[in-house]
Structure formats: structure tokens, C-alpha cells
Structure 1
């Protein structure tokens, strides 16, 4: 496979996962002030399947599409107002979360255990970013921001982390065996 084919394949997979994140963001359980969505599950899948580089690119593409006004954020919202609004910190927190999740797995292994650890870390990163921004943007007390921005999501987040780890590792192995997913840069160097 030549470098042009590899580049095209990587761009297609990145765009596909940006779309997956947008679709899963519409799975919503509306609780105030921050709804529970399938978005975070999709972020975990992107990191577990694609690794740090392409997982992060997929999140950046998703955020750019949403910032441009396409209604890909939760509850069919879009635009810069969503990113700078009270729940925008969660969206911004997806960037370091997916990078750190993918990086961790690239440095360890794409196994269920490591994927579960990585997805739990990623969940915490997104929750911390989101809660800090919620406190600032909504002018809440720290206690109220933590009660509304972290506490309701811990159990659901752990369930999503387990699902992303299990499904992500399984899909990653199947895509690699079908030669539809290239090894990440780090794992390619490690096996060479």
C-alpha cells in the first residue's frame, strides 16, 4: 500500500469517527444542567479504535463541524454558542481526553484492561474540564458545579468506559485482521 492510499484511508476513518460521535451525541437522557449522552461513549471508541493521533483528529473535526453550526452536538445543537456555553467545557475536554486515552493504550496495549483504565482516565479528564467550565460559565459555586457536573456521571461514565473498552478492543482487532485499520505509529515502531 502506498503512502497516498494510507493517507486517504486515515482521512476516511477520521471522518467516519467524527460522524459516529455526532450520531451518538443525539442519544440523550436530559438531566439538568448537563445531559447524559452517547457522545462520551463515542469518544472512548474513537480513542480505543484509532489511538491518539487519529482519535484526536476525529474529535477536532467533530468540534469544527459543530462550531460551524451543523447540529451535531447533543440535542441537535451546534454553533460556537454551544462551545462557549455552560456545557462547552465537556466538548473541549474531549480533546485532551481522547489524546491521553489513545496515548496510554499505544504505550501499553490495546487490551480490555488497559482500554478500561484509559477510558476511565478520559472520563475523568472530560468531567474535570466540563465542571470547571460549568462553574465559570454558569457562575455556580464549586459545590453546585460538582453536584451537577460530576456526581451524576460517575456510574454512567464507568459503564460507558467498560462498553468503549470492550467494543473498541473487539472492533479494533477485527479491523486490523481485515487490514482496514493500520497500526498506530507507536505500535508500528514497536513491532518493527
Structure 2
């Protein structure tokens, strides 16, 4: 009974983080092809706090919400057209980003320095997926895709990685102390 309650608690926390990603996606700085959004920060937070399993579940719930029409993607958008559009690679890339970031944290320790490394790795995973997707969907050259889909996001990505690492470790500690999270 205790195990099923703990599992339910984690599923509720995952659903809350999926909603947080949707809210953070609305913080947008528009650029020509791909906007800068807060959703990558929220994915990093979810993975840092929840780990690989529940961080990945969180992203899958977020993507499912958007796929069925709930306006949780950037600019209050939704639908399969967004997932399969020019920015879809970043959205799909959030799945391995959450898993790899959380997995790194679980295999090392939940400290700021490890969280920073994990989130920088996650940033590169998301940017790589997004850039490759953008290259094929927008029919760009590799150079053009790299310059439009990777380079403009490096500085912001490192800043978001820092914020996700710092806040993630802090929030995780508080959630664990209050028994709202599985260790």
C-alpha cells in the first residue's frame, strides 16, 4: 500500500511538472525560425528534481497534452502540426534530454556541480535533436540549420542549465525533506 501511494505521489508530481513545462513554454523570445522559450529550463528542472524515469514521464505527459490539443507549446499552440513542424525536433528531443539528464544525476549525485554538467549535456541533446530536425523539415543546409537552430541558443542554454541546476537541487532537497518525492 505504501509503495502504491508513493508511486501515485510521483505521478501527481510528474503531472504538475508537465503543467509547469506548459506554463514556462509561454515565456518566449521570438526568433525567425525557432523561438527561445522557458520550456527547456522547465525540462531541465523536471529531470534534475525527478530523475530519469519520472522526468521522462513528465515530458511524455507534456507532449501528449500538446498533441491532443491543449495549448501548452510555445505561443499557446498545440497539435501534431507543431510536433511535426520546424520546432518539433526540440520537442521530441526533450524525451532523451530528460532521460539523460536524470540518468546522469542518478548515477552520480544530486549536487549542484553534477546537476550543472547534466543540464549542459541535456542542452546539447535537445539542441542536436532540434537542429537535425530543422535541417530536414525546413530543407536547410547543415550550416544553415546549425546557425539557425543551435548557435543562437548556446548562451541562453548555459544560463538555463545553471538555473535548472541551482533551483533543481534546491527544490529537490525541499521536496525530499517534506516527503513529497521518492529518494
TM-score tier by shorter-chain length is over 0.9
> Post-superposition shift, 1:10?
1.2
Distance in structure 2 (CA, Å) of the matches to 1:5 and 1:98: 24
Q: Which residue of 1 aligns with 2:60?
A: 60
The answer on 1:20 being equivalent to 2:20 is: yes
The answer on 1:154 being equivalent to 2:154 is: yes
The answer on 1:36 being equivalent to 2:36 is: yes
Distance in structure 2 (CA, Å) of the matches to 1:134 and 1:82: 12
Over residues 48-82 of structure 1, what are the superposed CA-to-partner deviations in whole Å (9 max), with x where a residue is unaligned?
00000000000000000101111100011100000
> Unpaired runs of 5+ in structure 2?
none
Distance in structure 1 (CA, Å) of the matches to 2:90 and 2:52: 18
Distance in structure 2 (CA, Å) of the matches to 1:10 and 1:98: 16
Considering only aligned residues, what root-mean-square deviation do their CA atoms show, in Å?
0.8
Over residues 16-69 of structure 1, what are the superposed CA-to-partner deviations in whole Å (9 max), with x where a residue is unaligned?
000000000000000111000000000000000000000000000000010111
> Post-superposition shift, 1:4?
2.4
Q: Which residue of 1 aligns with 2:115?
A: 115
Q: What is the number of equivalent residue pairs in this alignment?
A: 183
The answer on 1:167 being equivalent to 2:157 is: no
Q: Which residue of 2 aligns with 1:141?
A: 141
Structure 1 segments of 4+ aligned residues over 6 angstroms from their partners: none
Distance in structure 2 (CA, Å) of the matches to 1:138 and 1:128: 15
Where 1:90 maps in the other structure, the secondary structure is: helix
Distance in structure 1 (CA, Å) of the matches to 2:145 and 2:70: 28
Over residues 61-111 of structure 1, what are the superposed CA-to-partner deviations in whole Å (9 max), with x where a residue is unaligned?
000010111110001110000000011000000000110000000000010
Distance in structure 2 (CA, Å) of the matches to 1:136 and 1:38: 25
> Unpaired runs of 5+ in structure 1?
184-192
